[in-house]
Amino acid sequence: MSTYFESYLTVGAFIVLGAVLVLVMLGVAAVLRPSRPQPAKEETYECGVDPVGTGWSQTYVRYFIFALLFLLFDVEAVFVFPWAIAAERLGVFGLVAIIIFTLTLVEGLVYAAKKGVLRWE
Amino acid sequence: MIADLLSNFWVALVAKLLLVALAIPLIGMVVGFGEMKLSAKMQARVGPYFAGGRWGWAQLLADGIKFFQKEDLIPRDADKPVFKFAPVVVMMGTVALFVVIPWGPGLIFRDLSVGIFYALAISSLTTVGVLMAGWSSANKYSLIGGLRAAGQMIAYELPLVFSALAVVIMAGTMSMQGIVEAQIEAGYPFVILQIVGFVIFVIASLAELSRIPFDLPIAESELVMGYLTEYSGFRFLFFFLAEFANMFSMSAIAVTLFLGGWYLPGIPADALEYLGPVILVVKSLILVFAMIWFRWAFPRVRQDQLQSLAWKWLIPISLANVILTGVFKVVL
């Protein structure tokens, strides 16, 4: 078995352990805890008064433009990480390339800021 | 004999899983108890006192047993499968983050070659669980809390990634053990040259953990309990366990990146085998203490302040830090 496979098998096992921990604990608790369902207990909690409308009410997500910017910069980070490891080997050429790459993206951020996208209206 | 057994991959894997299954509740209890007691001290209260006889040390054990007996309530309107699955996702992220924390020389659950990259990626899984919890509860407070958590993650993931990126440039590797060894080789912890990165990393990890001053997703005074409002019993407990365990593991990652990890100058190499975990835990708990301290030192920021702090200050500064570090590394 290769080291690579072993590594990600470990990761997979840890992720499964997270789920197993919750399920086992809930299973044990199921033996101990009472279960007396009543209509009032299953009501949506709104500080004691009867809930108004549905829970999935319309919300204005103000920062959805931020999400687009986030995507841009997060993808940038993915590209910069490989350079970061080999920064010394790639020398000045790699450095200049990364600076140009980053500045192009920063220009986008500046443009967004100038357009007022980052202001909270 | 034991060393022979542990050289088998499968035996070692089971041992690791058992170890982490015990360690996470233990860490959660230590951090949780610390938070209770320190918060009390900072507010001139006594805090937990009776449980366990002295200092109330068994308070969280008692709480845990109490949670075992709590009825499992699910609101009628909730999206039930998602509602039930949300704590599972949160715990998956929490447990998986422990894979790459280096405890000592050669002492790590698995030294992935993409260590820090993996840590940053898997720590966002918690936010997915939180968003699921907020959405599926069918409660207005929960929905707003969940959306706030997502917005916060979007804003603060980037400063976190970029400040870690600067460390990767300095170390020339993404493996967590490699980063610690690079600091030993350099003769100084990276915080000395990366003080800006360290400060940004701590601020951003506070926001990722939604701790005060960035606790908008659960802001009690506005949103009841945010995405936790509809949870009760053990499902509720798992969100808290995850929060405390994540406080520790994010601190441990910050310690590894910036403060030299398990290494302390002046301690002989063979003693580090045993003292490494102690050094790492002590350093991490100091950062955890700072997080608890911040909770009582700063007021909560507003949502727009939170977003503009990240986008107008932290992201440009951390990007400039990356470029400067690159110049420093390549030219000097």
Do A70 and A19 sit in the same domain of this protein? Answer: no
How many folded domains does chain A comprise? 2
In a domain, A44, yes or no: no
How far apart (Å, rounded) are the C-alpha atoms in residues B120 and B164? 9
Q: What is the mean pLDDT of residues A79-102?
A: 85
Q: Assess whether A68 and A26 both reside in one domain.
A: no
Assess if residue A37 is contained within a domain: no
Q: Which two tokens stand for residue B273?
A: 């085998």
Average pLDDT of chain B is: 86
Task: List pLDDT tens digits, range A109-119.
Answer: 888 888 877 77
What pTM was estimated for this model as a whole?
A: 0.89
Classify residue B218 by its DSSP letter.
G
| Contact (Cβ atoms closer than 8 angstroms) between residue A58 and residue B294 | no
pLDDT band at B1 (very low <50, low <70, confident <90, very high): low
The CB density around residue B102, as the number of other CB atoms within 10 Å, is: 28
Number of structural domains (chain B) is: 1
Per the domain annotation, does A54 fall within a domain? Answer: no
pLDDT tens for each residue of B241-266: 888 999 999 999 999 999 888 888 87
Instruction: State how far the Cα of B256 lies from the Cα of B283, in Å rounded to an integer.
Output: 10
Residue B216 contacts A, CB cutoff 8 Å: no
Q: Which residues of A touch B21 (CB under 8 A)?
A: 17, 21
Owner of token pair 């929960």 = B142
**Residue B299 has what DSSP assignment?**
P
Phi, psi angle pair for B103, to nearest 5°: -95, -20
Residue range B59-107, pLDDT digits in tens: 888 888 888 888 888 888 788 888 888 889 998 988 999 888 898 887 7
Q: Spell out which residues of chain A touch residue B70, defining contact as CB-CB under 8 Å.
A: 29, 33
CA distance A23 to A28: 9
Above 70 in pLDDT, residue A1? no
Which residues lie across from B108 on neighbouring strands? B102
A14: in domain: yes
Q: Is B46 on the interface with A (CB under 8 A)?
A: no
User: What's the CA gap between B302 and B299, in Å, rounded?
Assistant: 10
Structural domain includes residue A92 = yes
Closest CA to B226 of B307, B300, B155, B298: B300
Q: Which of B73, B147, B304 sits opposite A120 (nearest CB)?
A: B304
Determine contact, residues B73/B232, Cβ cutoff 8 Å: yes
Q: Is B290 on the interface with A (CB under 8 A)?
A: no
How distant, in Å, are the alpha carbons of A15, B174, B205, B234 from that of B27?
18, 26, 18, 18
B67's CB contacts (< 8 A; 6+ apart) are A29, B233, B234, B236, B237
For residue A69, being part of any structural domain is answered with yes
Say yes or no: A23 and A68 in one domain.
no
Task: Give the nearest chain B residue to A78 (CA atoms).
Answer: B117
B25-53 pLDDT tens trace = 889 888 988 888 888 888 888 888 887 77
> DSSP assignment, residue A42?
G
Q: Within a domain: residue A50? A: no
What is the domain extent for residue B265? Answer: 2-331
CB contact, 8 Å: A77 with chain B? Answer: yes
Nearest to A42 among B73, B141, B307 (CB): B73
Which helix (H) or strand (E) element contains residue B104?
strand B102-104
Q: Which domain holds residue A17?
A: 1-31
Q: pLDDT (tens digit, 9 = 90+) per residue, B204-224?
A: 999 888 887 888 777 777 777
Please give the share of chain B, as a percent, with pLDDT higher than 90.
11
